[in-house]
Amino acid sequence: MTLKSLLCLSLLCGSALSVEALAKDTSYPAAEAQTLDLAQKAIAIRSVRGEGNRTGEVAKLFGDALIAGGWNASDIEITPVDDTAFIVATWKGSDPTLKPLVISGHMDVVEARREDWERDPFVPVVEDGILYGRGASDMKFDGALAVSSLIELRRQGYKPRRTIVIEFSGDEETTMKTSAIIAEKLKNAELVINVDGGGGALDEATGKPLYWTWQGAEKTYADYRLEVTNPGGHSSAPRPDNAIVQLSQALLKVGTYKFKAEQNPITKDYFQKAAAFADKPDIAAAMRAFSANPNDAKALATLRADPSMVGKVGTTCVPTMLGGGHAENALPQRAFANINCRIFPGHTKEEIMAELGTVIADPAVRITDVTLGSVASPASPLRPDLMTAVTKAMGKAYPGVPLIPSQASGASDSMWFRTLGVPSYGLSPSFSKDSEDFAHGLNERTRLSNIRPGITYYLSLFTDLTK
């Protein structure tokens, strides 16, 4: 047996890089094994919305692990809600005057069908140092890592001054009903670490860590229905007003309208730092120019023309669905469209709906907010205490890797806290190649080389924020 194959018996069998790079690091045999064990067991539990939803069993899996790790059973609450459940587990700190640190995640996953996947999505498989299965990256692995790290902290004899609450919602991917309940229950928190946001990028060729992003803000998701109705009539006798034509005119206006360019401290810093990793020189130049001056028209035009950048410079609204008419030979009595918006932090859904009304400028076009499960949320502040703790933790786990703030275009559980005034940050220490990002998609995966540095990072971060 060679040394390499001996190493391959350990959890971190994978690329030569991960084995060598981590060999000098501290190891956590129990916590490393537990991370993989919990992640695999969680993936095997089909926690998908609807018939046969087993999210409650994932809650029990994590709850039992915490109890075995020293938590009082009375400090673990598992609450069923509709076909799902959520878990809140408390580790009491010695100083009751300090507001708790909340560690947040979710247990549900997006549907995955056996016939679409190369492997059964609900049978975890480890191959060449990579864990495959639905939830491997979003976010059962990250949940298992956070739970195992907390248990490790307790195993090492740590006693927090500040109470640590770990909570996992049960419907983040769908209705977010449990997410809203949890945020309301924990709105007294000092701050929230969302382990389902942020993360690092690995170089496609070498697999070396390139940079790590943390998420401090997210855009608000909104859907508006545009609708034109009239009495219609026979198509041989057209009326001056036509519902389809009126709606089309409104859609043309929406399609060409640009919301004002905006920036906040997080996106300003993002453009400045991420420019170094842009693959096209014109995009890199535009990112730097926009960071320095959000009114730079040339930079703005370049960024708006790039689908991966346009969402970072302001609110976007785009028609996504269309319907109308009821017969080939009848004037349409109804025409409708859905406008999907991603609203820049700092604006309400009402404000953007009113702006769309001004753009369309036709009282015959009725606009209604039909958004489900989304609230507007402000960007979280760049807190020096958090930044210091995060920089130190990342420095221990991945020395020299640059840290870049980011604003997400979608919605996570963080918005439910931010909307209540509790700062929340996506701080996952998991790294992957862009080409390996299969969250919500096929053959979802995560690298086991994330385990050891992930534990190093969490031990440092959790300690610094609660000691």
Task: Tell me which residues touch Zn ion (CB under 5 A).
Answer: 138-139, 196
User: Within its chain, how far is the Cα of 250 from the centroid?
Assistant: 33
CB of 420 within 8 A of CB of 184? Answer: yes
CB of 110 to Zn ion, least distance (A): 9
CB of 233 within 8 A of CB of 330? Answer: yes
Tokens 């053959």 map to which residue?
Answer: 443
Tokens 């049960």 map to which residue?
Answer: 170
Helix 55-68 to helix 29-43 angle (10° resolution) is: 160
Q: How many residues does the chain have?
A: 467
Q: Which is nearer to Zn ion, 264 or 446 (CB)?
A: 446
Q: Which helix (H) or strand (E) holds 211?
A: strand 209-218
Of 341, 433, 438, 430, the residue nearest 141 (C-alpha): 430
CB of 125 within 8 A of CB of 94? Answer: no
Q: Which is nearer to Zn ion, 138 or 171 (CB)?
A: 138
Q: Which is nearer to Zn ion, 87 or 139 (CB)?
A: 139
CB of 140 to Zn ion, least distance (A): 10
Q: Which is nearer to Zn ion, 213 or 264 (CB)?
A: 213
- Two structure tokens written together for 202: 């690995």
CB of 55 to Zn ion, least distance (A): 13
Q: Which is nearer to Zn ion, 196 or 218 (CB)?
A: 196
CB of 109 to Zn ion, least distance (A): 8
CB of 105 to Zn ion, least distance (A): 8
CB of 353 within 8 A of CB of 317? Answer: no
CB of 427 to Zn ion, least distance (A): 14
CB of 87 within 8 A of CB of 167? Answer: yes
CB of 440 to Zn ion, least distance (A): 8
Tokens 């998609």 map to which residue?
Answer: 441
CB of 389 to Zn ion, least distance (A): 23
Q: Which is nearer to Zn ion, 152 or 196 (CB)?
A: 196
Q: Which is nearer to Zn ion, 36 or 139 (CB)?
A: 139
Q: Which is nearer to Zn ion, 135 or 207 (CB)?
A: 135
CB of 103 to Zn ion, least distance (A): 14
Residues 281/286/288/293 CA torsion (nearest 10 deg): 170
Residue 256: HSE in the Cβ half-sphere, 13 Å Cα cutoff: 6
Of 5, 204, 186, the residue nearest 100 (C-alpha): 186
Q: Which is nearer to Zn ion, 139 or 303 (CB)?
A: 139
Helix (H, G, I), strand (E, B) or coil at 385: helix
Of 309, 307, 311, the residue nearest 286 (C-alpha): 309
CB of 271 within 8 A of CB of 287? Answer: yes
